[in-house]
Structure 1
């Protein structure tokens, strides 16, 4: 029985696979792509051969699976190394180009296997690029989240300056998320060091929304309760200047005036920014004076 065009194309591809891998590697090296420039030839050939074998498997299936899977794994690895996605797609293009040229040269008088390859090439390449793009997107988002968390942690340092005194340098623009992170860090440091004074250095803050920076001074309600509740949970004190009636809007009950946690000496927090003096409530929120 005469083999079909698909069978002849697949047999030809597998038979020429090693030669096609070598030709593809030579073109990639000739292109002088930054990532592949220092790639050892033996390692490059082994990596490219795995990709070509995945393409061979997908030539025999209706839906490409092996090639997208290997590019997805490759994308996660390369993205973590900082490799540009265009360098990977350029390498893919060289490989497909080498195979297409081989089919065109060897099946000039018998175009059916070549047409089978070109149809399959389009489906396989599209599925691979889609998988690669998704992998890069997920990897880059994870990297950005990690970097953002690290920056947030570095920007909320609370340092002991003197027994009972802490200093918190603030740098950059502040949104609600950063204000909440600073509040959490300050309260944790206050409880850990049993401090009565917190100094905030605002020289590195170009501007700050007073309403956002001082939820303790906002009218009682859900938006301000969280700050007072944190004050009570961290130090067992009411925010200074708050009457029991206004403080009772929180979902937590503040300690009574006779509670052992209460202190006759209120907290004192201050901030310095050039010649500007600010008043800071015990939860670490600034109000312009």
Structure 2
């Protein structure tokens, strides 16, 4: 299919982009276009204006401090995969980006674009939810920071307000954690049927911190906060593994579609949770 007619707007600064978006109700920004272009072709959306953010070179960077790693919204996946800063400080993101789409998607797609699109089965929103990353939103009046747990409101729905764009993602550095990104798909390159973004910090066999976030099981990434809270300070053993598996799967009601039923998704959720915890135990 062909996309509907629209006017193309090229901007070179964040200020230009935010001012145009603020003054035009029916405008959509485009970064890598790996989600937006298919949506246009299927006529899921029909904006009057497409605002091309790609010339804004100030939004493509990776930097790291002692406690956090900052990634510009227009940073492409392949740049993340080349970055030792990400691989060392935010290994969970690195692991997830390795299985995003295919080579074309990784060459063109951006971390900010996936975050803004907020597909509940996408890899990046699930990782950001696990880490409760800070998402920096910029408008003509300034910038504000929103935690990932507050940013994703539902399927393709976020806290982005009129005239705002995502300018930066700030992720906590995970020193002393073991991380795993597990993703079950029907075909290579697909969005996740179910995914798990997992991080754990142990003191001996005792859980000091744990993060469990799932994609594909609801209208936004699901973070098992109550389960996490209840296992802090407990010894990781087979009994606790089964308790975690049971509790996380009982807290969601996954959707049914042509890719899999609700029951099947819940069973997949149990299996990847159990297998990951067993892997941690060795």
Scaled by the length of structure 2, the TM-score of the pair is 0.23
Higher helix share goes to which structure?
A: 1
* Max Rg structure: 1
Flag the structure with higher strand content: 2
- Calculate the TM-score normalised by the size of structure 1: 0.23
